[in-house]
A and B are shown apart, each in its own frame.
Chain A
Amino acid sequence: MAEVAHAEVGHGDHHDDHHEQSFWSKYIFSTDHKIIGFQYMFTGMAMALIGGYFAYVFRMQLAFPGASIPFWGTLSPAAYNSLVTNHGTIMIFWVAMPVLIAAMGNFLIPLMIGCDDMVFPKVNRLSFQIFLLSAIVLIISFFVPGGGFGGAWTAYPPLSAKAEFNATPFGAPLWLIAVTLEIVAFLLGGINFITTTMNARAKGMKMYDIPIIVWMIVIASILFMCSVGPLVAGAVMLLFDQTMGTAFFDANAGGDPVLWQHLFWFFGHPEVYVVLLPAMGIVGEVTCTFARKKLFAYKLILYSSVGLGILSFFVWAHHQFISGVDPRATYLFTTTTLLISIPVAIIMFAYIATLYGGSIRFTTAMLFGLAFTGEFLLGGVTGIWLGSSGTDIYLHDTYFVLAHFHYTFVPIAIIATFAAIYYWFPKMFGRKMNETWGKIHFWGTIIPFNGIFIPLFILGAGGQHRRIYNYQNFPDLAGADMQDMRVFATVSLIIMLIFQLVFIVNFIVSLKRGEKAGKNPWKANTLEWITESPPPHGNFGATMPEVYRGPYEYSVEGREKDYWPQNEKPEPENR
């Protein structure tokens, strides 16, 4: 191949070059993949705080309608809509995407495949800068006259297309511009992830030696790229409708408002899997390391996730069962939607089977990993009620839907992310996080999480619809027992948010005072654990690693150690 043998000299020899960096060039305008990963991670965390704060405000309104909310005041209907819309948008586009794909992808891919950086470091930096710009545009959109956009994160026209309908003449276009910029940032980032994994793997690393999380991020990037194109076109059209008065989605002038729904959900459903796959990858890594087990049926998981990705392009209209598309089409989409349970089930079964015969260490990271499997199971199966078009007639746009997708998105974006942070924190910052506080944080997250959303399943099945700022206006929903459930959910949310402070304090304190981690605190196999913690510029010092085996050779029979790093040279008799 085109590779030149002598080019494989690491950065160790050039250490002197990197001493004289200022704060700005080292942390702000760096092209180093680790720094860019941190930038994504911290931006994502900051946005998560904003999104969590929004959730707190509107849950307070639902539990105590009309009351003055601490740290906010009384909430107007327009502000309620805006908070709900932007909570959804932030949590998906500015938390799940940057943390799971961009932060993990940037930090882990070069380390795990044994190279020194992304193949296009400058494109990588550009990608983050566009992402940061998009976040700033979004935040500005909250403060413009008319307030932030309040037409739900799906932004269905004509509501989103005309200021006379949505009453946010500036908020709506800014929201749309922010989302489009974010998409552009991730298209650039995705190209980097894919090409890096395809081309820059360490010597000896074959297709099936790639850690599952790298695979998952790459599949997710491809999925994102394939699904988002039509939405970009749709966003341009919607932006023209909003700002210049074209009529792409205006039924009165020959347009078609349902077209947007197709463009949006053609992206929107694969998007779920775009964030799900990296989360599953994280859980796969964590489960194997702490169960000391080889990943059960690695290839099957891999093929299932590819199948999942392909199938996800044929399910989008299950979001539109009752929105006036030809009702006969639902036969197809119900079938594909229920069939998509199969690849997901295979992956989940494989993860559960990985535990069989293991020796499970209950570190905080593992607890979060196991919690993902358990909680996502409930999120996954509740999708069956909604994928079945018959019951969807009733359940569509109720709190049942809301509880269902929070049972998928919270395990993805919150629980799996915590698993990743507890697991890779030693590699990122060279110190371990405090395990005791970690476990307190774990239980303080998981128990209230179920406390929030289980009542919402019941409320949804009782006919409570989404995005309504005060249920007291509906006599059937104003009953005391229903209101009690809303209060219970809100109190659970507040408890969950308070326990996140434990995490933040633990994070900051561990940065300075945590136990020194050393190179490989978890005795894991993948390549990131063979270098220093934190990895130096160039990652692997003077010599780049070479790979001899798959990433999950734990507890191999006849070996003294229960792990076998990928780069360890096999002894002659073992060959």
Chain B
Amino acid sequence: MFEFIDKFMPGLLEMLLPRASSYAVQIDVLFDVITILVGFWFFLVLGYFFYLIFRYRHRDGHKAEYISGETHKQKQAIEIPHYLILACDVAIIIPTFLVWYNIKIEVPPPDEEIRIISQQWAWTFQHAGADGVLDTPDDIRSVNELHVKNNTQYTYHLESRDVMHSFSVPVFRLKQDAIPGRVISGHFKPILTGEWDIQCAEMCGVAHGIMGARIFIKSEAEYAAWIEANTPETAQKELLAVNEETISEAKEDPNNG
């Protein structure tokens, strides 16, 4: 649905940043819808405001009118636009709910999971590795580099070791605060290969300003090559012996995030 509406929208955010996740289009469309509705009202009101300033400027021999604004007819000058604004509010609230539900509440079944650990002042990414399961010996840990496979549904588990941080990937239109003592889960699905910024979006201390990371979205072949090159050597030997293990995610709360 959002893809369809998007055809008629100016795509303001895409002019500034590409869309690299499956739901980026939803946020972009919502942004455009709000821009059109609000922009219309803003310029209408501002235009009328300037017209009034010009039309009723002080001229000699011209006296102001006495209008109390207390009669019903006069009040309609405020009431009618106020109902129109209410209608516009509703027109914004409904798509907002849809977008919010799709991004933050419904978590689609993941193809792969990833753990993101924030601390002062670095990001540690725990990739599931070759077997696609977290907390196995073949997990790949990297600092300030997140490698993901294109067109894959990810679920992330965000943690913090000390203070609050915020995991923000502007090209994904994704942001989530990391709270010490909690594991917050969410999801994303990259749709565009490339390399972009990850920023910390919550003041986290002296070096907050350099707490960046890079995200590398790779095609399937590139990702497989990266896995092969980075799987820990000890794990590679064990990998043959280890069967699929079940892992417990007991401390997670699916409603968080």
Contact = CB atoms under 8 A, between A and B. Distances in A.
A555 B27 contact: no
A359 B62 contact: yes
B65 A555 contact: yes
B223 interface: no
Contact of B206 (A150, A330, A352, A377): A150
Contacts of A391: 27, 30-31, 34, 96, 99
A170 to B, nearest CB: 16
A342 to B, nearest CB: 6
Q: A330, A334, A360 — which one has the most chain B CB atoms within 10 A of its CB?
A: A360
A554 B163 contact: no
B89 to A, nearest CB: 4
B92 to A, nearest CB: 6
B9 interface: no
A293 to B, nearest CB: 5
A255 to B, nearest CB: 9
A29 to B, nearest CB: 41
A80 B209 contact: yes
Interface stretch (B132-140, B146-154, B174-182, B241-249): B174-182
Q: A323, A377, A385 — which one has the most chain B CB atoms within 10 A of its CB?
A: A323
Contacts of B31: 385, 391, 394, 461
Looking at chain B, what size class is its interface with the partner chain? 35 or more
B174 A393 contact: yes
B229 interface: no
A458 B177 contact: no
A473 B177 CA distance: 21
A328 interface: yes
Contacts of A78: 206
B255 A299 contact: no
Contacts of B225: none
Interface stretch (B37-45, B109-117, B123-131): B37-45
Nearest to A293: B64
Interface string B213-239: 010000000000000000000000000
Interface string A503-518: 0000000000000000
A165 B184 contact: no
A551 B177 CA distance: 50
Contacts of A360: 53, 56-58
Contacts of A355: 49, 52-53, 56
A165 B255 contact: no
A324 interface: yes
A297 B74 contact: yes
A467 B208 contact: yes
Nearest to A355: B52
A353 B174 contact: no
B202 interface: yes
A215 interface: no
B63 interface: yes
| 8 smallest beta-carbon distances between A and B, as pairs | A251-B181, A463-B170, A390-B99, A357-B65, A296-B69, A297-B69, A462-B16, A555-B64
